[in-house]
């Protein structure tokens, strides 16, 4: 249960930005000139609510108990052309890959992709102009000053799509978690039953000459995921961000080509743009295969998609797998 509670990839929060302060209707009065004219200052801006990318965050867990985000109002203007203080902006740190939607309209309001990137989620209302702005030759003592503009309010859905270079795609128990644990320092939960991985697990793969790339073990897919079966859309959402998809198919599968086709079809049903990514096929648990069986399996697989045989247990083929992923990544970045 700890894994389930510690990874939060979607959350709903109520947000209200600050109202702008009202402009002042004030007239200067001095000892020698009791009708010196209007000097009402402007109201301050209401506080914005902003999102900021933080590369050290991997989940939205820290927002679980902040369901209401209410920003400060701007202060009203005052005499002597004094502008009211603006509200203090609220900045919400979120992991990279976070998207914000307006729950009611479904509109995408913000997307955070870089560390330190700041985006206004909700704008504070502008402060109203004081009466000093409305003096004219024919109206030298205007009584009018603007009220501040109201802020915005709405329920916002924050959704995290994991940012990784390589996403592991496969049926439950295909060997993805074991592969991640061998290639990286990540410690995913590993067991022989469906949906052991219920949340994305990330790890850095060390490559040659100090280079590295990020790989994500994603929750196992099943037929019907595009319709929401199993972990459904929650799983597929995270795949959208990956540059490469590594389809992990176990050597003891009854039909390797059919298994790949099912996975391919689920991605196509969910979003055809996913098919524009670079694909690699990895046949896991290959220590049980001899050369003849490997040749037979290779004939089943799509000729246009590169494949590699590997075993996480014996570490056979892992160097070839890393080489293939690295070279495919470089091609994808061109």
pLDDT tens-digit series, residues 44-89: 999 999 999 998 887 788 888 888 999 999 999 998 889 999 999 9
> Which of 264, 197, 170 minimizes the C-alpha distance to 3?
197
Residue 163 pLDDT greater than 70, yes or no: no
- Say whether both 329 and 182 belong to one domain: yes
CATH number of 60's domain: 2.70.210.12
CATH number of 282's domain: 3.40.50.300
pLDDT on residue 311: 93
- The last residue of one of the domains, among 160, 194, 209, is 160
pLDDT on residue 177: 81
% of the chain at pLDDT higher than 90:
44
3-state SS string for 201-258: EEEEEECHHHCEEEEEECCCCCCCHHHCCCCHHHHHHHHCCCCEEEEEEECCCCCHHH
- Say whether both 55 and 85 belong to one domain: yes
Domain that holds residue 255: 166-333
Could you give the CA distance from residue 309 to residue 288 in angstroms, rounded to a whole number?
11
- Say whether both 189 and 148 belong to one domain: no
- Say whether both 102 and 13 belong to one domain: yes
Residue 150 backbone dihedrals phi, psi, to 5 degrees: -70, 155
Residue 202 pLDDT greater than 90, yes or no: no
- Say whether both 152 and 178 belong to one domain: no
- The last residue of one of the domains, among 138, 160, 182, is 160
Residue 230 pLDDT greater than 70, yes or no: no
- The last residue of one of the domains, among 160, 181, 216, is 160
pLDDT digits (tens, 9 = 90+) for 132-155: 888 888 787 888 889 999 999 999
How many CB atoms within 10 Å of residue 65? Answer: 6
Q: How many domains does the chain have?
A: 2
> Which of 141, 126, 153, 160 minimizes the C-alpha distance to 23?
126
Mapped onto helix, strand or coil, the DSSP state of residue 318 is: helix
- Say whether both 155 and 172 belong to one domain: no
pLDDT on residue 76: 96
- Say whether both 124 and 245 belong to one domain: no
pLDDT on residue 31: 63
């Amino acid at each position: 249960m700890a894994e389930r509670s510690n990874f939060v990839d979607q959350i709903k929060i109520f947000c209200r930005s600050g109202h702008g302060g009202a402009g002042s209707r004030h007239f200067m009065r001095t000892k020698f000139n009791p009708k010196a004219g209007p000097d009402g200052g402007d109201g301050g801006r209401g506080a914005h609510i902003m999102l900021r990318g933080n590369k050290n965050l991997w989940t939205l867990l820290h927002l679980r108990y902040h369901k209401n985000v209410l920003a400060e109002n701007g202060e009203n203007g005052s005499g002597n052309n004094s502008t009211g203080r603006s509200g203090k902006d609220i900045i919400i740190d979120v992991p990279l890959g976070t998207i914000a939607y307006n729950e009611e309209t479904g509109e995408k309001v913000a997307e955070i992709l870089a560390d330190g990137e700041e985006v206004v989620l909700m704008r504070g209302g502008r402060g109203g102009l004081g009466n000093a702005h409305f003096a004219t030759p024919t109206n030298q003592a205007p009584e009018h000053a603007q009220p501040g503009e109201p802020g915005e309010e709405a329920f916002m859905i924050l959704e995290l799509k994991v940012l990784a270079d390589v996403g592991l795609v496969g049926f439950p128990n295909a060997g993805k978690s074991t592969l991640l644990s061998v290639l990286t320092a990540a410690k995913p939960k590993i067991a022989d039953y469906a949906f052991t991985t219920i949340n994305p697990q990330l790890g850095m793969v060390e490559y040659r000459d100090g280079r590295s790339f990020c790989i994500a073990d994603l929750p196992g897919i099943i037929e019907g995921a595009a319709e929401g079966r199993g972990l459904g859309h929650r799983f597929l959402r995270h795949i959208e961000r990956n540059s490469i998809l590594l389809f992990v198919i176990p050597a003891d599968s009854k039909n390797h080509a059919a298994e790949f086709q099912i996975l391919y079809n689920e991605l196509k049903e969910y979003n055809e743009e996913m098919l524009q990514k670079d694909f690699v096929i990895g046949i896991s648990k290959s220590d049980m295969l001899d050369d003849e069986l490997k040749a037979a399996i290779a004939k089943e697989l799509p000729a246009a998609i590169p494949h590699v045989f590997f075993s996480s247990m014996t570490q056979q083929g892992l160097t070839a797998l890393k080489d293939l992923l690295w070279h495919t990544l470089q091609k994808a970045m061109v």
